[in-house]
Amino acid sequence: MNQSQYNQLFAFIWNIANDVLVQAFNKGDYKKVILPMMVLRRLDLLLEPTHEEVLKQKKRLDEMGLPDDAQEQVLFNITKYPFCNTSRFTMKSLRGETNPIRLKSDFEEYLDGFSRDVQDIIEKFRLKQQVENLNQTNRLGAIIEKFTDDSINLGINPVLDKYGNEKLPGVDNHTMGTLFEELLRRFNEENSVTEAGEHFTPRDYVALMADIAVLPIADNLRSATYKIYDGACGTGGILSIAEERILENAQQRGKNVKIDLYGQELQPETFATCKADLMLSSDNVGMFTYKHAGKARDKFYCGSTISDDGHPGMKFDFCISNPPFGTPWKADMEAWGLKENEKDKIADPRFYHPEGYEKVVRFVPSIGDPQMLFLANNLSRMNDDSEIGTRIVEVHNGSSLFTGNAGGGESNLRKYIIEHDLLEAIIAMPEKDFYNTGIGTFIWVVTNRKEERRRGKVQLIDATEIKTPLRKNLGEKNCETNEDDRKAIMKLLMDFEDNERSRIFPNEEFGYIEITVDRPLRLKAQVTNDRIAMCIQDKKFKDFQDWLSRLLEETGGKEYTNFNLFIEDAKAASKKHGYKWKKVNYDALMKYFTEVCPEADIVLDDKGNQIPDKALSDTEQVPLRYEGGVDAFMQNEVLPYTPDAFINEDKTVIGYELSFTKYFYKPIQLRSLETIAADIRSIEENTDGMLNKILGI
């Protein structure tokens, strides 16, 4: 099919909406009718040659009492596709029916005749509801007429005239997929830019992700089956392009490669779009089911990747995703039967890592952003039993680089990835590269098969200026990553050199030890009548009047600068007057009879340890690469200014964060004084005498 023929086909289908659906449907709903109808017509044409044979075999299988699932496998052998239709009708046989009630009934019977995976698409698209709408507006017959028009061909084989000459070219799977995606993109751009951004990653961006996944290991591909997985697969664009790139590189190297695609998507219509697109465009999808651990599963699963894992225990060779970010995942907590403050009770092993006896490190981030959960999910998919291991290529916004305190879920995940030497690179991409957001994005490249030269190191690439402007903005998107841009970025990645756009650091560069620096509590104490009056107003200490009066007598109102000595005297006085000393007595004296005094002695606990002053507590981040470590940091940065400071060892924790600004920030060069002075002189010369004219002097 040449470009002119493709354009004619595209225009015909695009115009069906304007010809048939206008004034009956909202423009935003056009794709909900056009896309599934196009899918059905394509499948209908593929199945047409074997339709009669399928019906005969279906009758025999029914007479044998064979279950429907087993029947499908037999019928697939006839169609040579992983789908079939056992109704009496083809779409073309429905043409010409003028009775709207009978047409609706026959069309629904036609839909019900499709096999399981097509039924899934029909259900997720809510096509039967659209059929009802089409029927009520008297448009059902018209749209069937359009899609079965003799002037278009959505079949894989060409249409011939009576002399055997090609009248209309066939549409191969790749072209069909391109047509489907182009229609989807056009519908989204025309009607809802925000929705477009939510539904698919820009194709130019996806092509770069596929290159990052495949090109660095292309020479290691073997004649084998490779599994590609996207846990946020949207409309399936990432999967289909990654498949193309692997097959292309394998073919160039003389390898016979088979691809198995797997995905999961939360939104039903988006899921249906993905499954339909792959059914139309991929030669390698095969059956949409597989077996793992003795159970039959769907290769493409509709549900939340976080709380409803559709591929438990599965390992993959490539995990490529653009997960949602900045979207609360409270619904997943509810699905687990947990409250928002019960994240520590999440039992899914994808989101924590055992570390030592009865200790786990949790990767669970804040409830407002799930993207790190998707990264943890992909980490759990890593395959240790193959030569290429697993390559993860995942898009994030900037928050994944630094959010979360040391010991928090986000930092723990960064720590796990870097300390296990899994982080190959992070690439900063241009702003305004997506449809519905202007923020910059970052591509994380994670693998368990680092090249020798990369071991123990992380590469940061600044590709923010590697872009090509669009002639016309698509929503927020004002630039693209074209083929030349992709080559430039891939060169930076694969050259692995330190320069102004590529920085290489040891893993430890991004780690730090978060220490809690305390200063000792220093209190002076004194028993006075005013303080006694304040104390006994507290319900907890209302019965202490007599005891405190005795204490005042014994101490004589003396002001103590040593709190521990004050307590010893208080205990002695209590014993002398027959009062039993309890913790509540200590609490009363601490709360109402003391005040902080920098000149006072240090307060010690019963074991002789310094009690920290909570008001003076502070935290410091000590880089892992700080020369001399924490001790040197204290000697150099803390003790010269606060000699009594000490570290609370129980609160020491290691964290990790990354900052592109730190390594790639370029300050704006200020103009020199000479240049500024020259401009002023020039202005003075140009305005010479102007003031006199204005004032009339």
Residue 654 within any structural domain of the chain: no
Residue 617 within any structural domain of the chain: no
Same domain, 501 and 556: no
Of 525, 529, 527, the closest CA to residue 597 belongs to: 525
The three-state secondary structure class of 451 is coil
Same domain, 165 and 258: no
Residue 544 within any structural domain of the chain: yes
Residue 675 within any structural domain of the chain: no
d(CA 664, CA 469): 22
Same domain, 482 and 525: no
Residue appearing with tokens 């392009």: 241
* Residue 511 token pair: 């780690």
In this prediction the pTM is 0.84
Please tell me the predicted confidence (pLDDT) of residue 199: 44
CA angle, 97 then 99 then 103, to 5°: 60
Counting residues of the chain whose pLDDT is more than 70, the rounded percentage is 95
CA angle, 56 then 58 then 63, to 5°: 100
Q: Pick the range with the lowest mean pLDDT from 180-194, 255-269, 345-359.
A: 180-194
Amino acid sitting at position 291: K
With a cut of 70, say whether residue 47 has pLDDT above it: yes
221-244: b or e for each residue (b if 16 or more CB lie within 10 Å)?
A: beeeebbbbbbbbbbbbbbbbbbb
* CA 346 to chain CA centroid, nearest Å: 19
Same domain, 380 and 430: yes
Domain encompassing residue 132: 3-171
Please tell me the predicted confidence (pLDDT) of residue 696: 63
More confident residue, 275 or 521: 521
Please tell me the predicted confidence (pLDDT) of residue 197: 39
pLDDT in tens, 111-151: 999 998 899 999 998 999 999 999 999 999 999 999 999 99
Domain stop point among 538, 570, 596: 596
* φ/ψ of residue 620, rounded to 5: -130, 145
Residue 682 within any structural domain of the chain: no
Q: What is the CATH number of the domain that holds 208?
A: 3.40.50.150
With a cut of 60, say whether residue 314 has pLDDT above it: yes
- Side-chain half-sphere of 528: how many Cα atoms within 13 Å? 11
Same domain, 118 and 49: yes
Same domain, 493 and 449: yes
With a cut of 80, say whether residue 173 has pLDDT above it: no
- Side-chain half-sphere of 99: how many Cα atoms within 13 Å? 4
- Side-chain half-sphere of 161: how many Cα atoms within 13 Å? 5
Same domain, 530 and 497: no
Contacts of 134 (CB under 8 A, 6+ apart): 24, 33, 140, 143
Residue 445 within any structural domain of the chain: yes
Residues 433 and 481 sit within 8 Å (Cβ to Cβ): yes
Domain stop point among 171, 191, 211: 171
The CA dihedral of 160, 161, 164, 168, to the nearest 10 degrees, is -30
The count of domains in the chain is 3
Same domain, 293 and 428: yes
Long-range contacts, 546-555 (Cβ 8 Å, 24+): 547/574, 547/577, 547/579, 547/585, 548/588, 550/574, 550/577, 550/579, 551/527, 552/527, 552/528, 555/526, 555/527
More confident residue, 359 or 102: 102
| CA-only gyration radius of the chain, Å | 36
Residues 189 and 474 sit within 8 Å (Cβ to Cβ): yes
pLDDT in tens, 565-621: 999 999 999 999 999 999 999 999 999 999 999 999 999 998 999 999 999 999 999
Same domain, 285 and 425: yes
* CA 522 to chain CA centroid, nearest Å: 49
DSSP state of 19: I
Segment 263-268 shows an average pLDDT of: 92
* CA 75 to chain CA centroid, nearest Å: 40
Taking phi first (over 0 means left), then psi (-120 to 50 degrees means alpha), and beta for anything else, what does residue 655 get?
beta
Same domain, 123 and 216: no
Residue appearing with tokens 């002037």: 151
d(CA 119, CA 169): 29
Q: Pick the range with the lowest mean pLDDT from 153-157, 277-281, 330-334, 527-531.
A: 277-281
With a cut of 70, say whether residue 533 has pLDDT above it: yes
* CA 153 to chain CA centroid, nearest Å: 39
* φ/ψ of residue 345, rounded to 5: -95, 0
Write down how long the chain is: 697
Taking phi first (over 0 means left), then psi (-120 to 50 degrees means alpha), and beta for anything else, what does residue 407 get?
left
Residue 436 within any structural domain of the chain: yes
* Helix 127-136 and helix 100-112, axial crossing angle in degrees, nearest 10: 170
Q: Where are the beta strands (DSSP E) in 374-450?
A: 391-397, 423-428, 441-447
E strand or H helix at 375, and its extent? helix 371-379
* Residue 239 token pair: 């999967």
Domain stop point among 572, 596, 620: 596
Same domain, 496 and 524: no
Amino acid sitting at position 406: A
Residues 608 and 491 sit within 8 Å (Cβ to Cβ): no
Average pLDDT score, the chain: 90
Please tell me the predicted confidence (pLDDT) of residue 377: 97
Counting residues of the chain whose pLDDT is more than 90, the rounded percentage is 68
Segment 463-475 shows an average pLDDT of: 87
Residue 432 within any structural domain of the chain: yes
* φ/ψ of residue 522, rounded to 5: -125, 120
- Band (pLDDT 50/70/90 cuts) for residue 82 is confident
Same domain, 408 and 503: yes
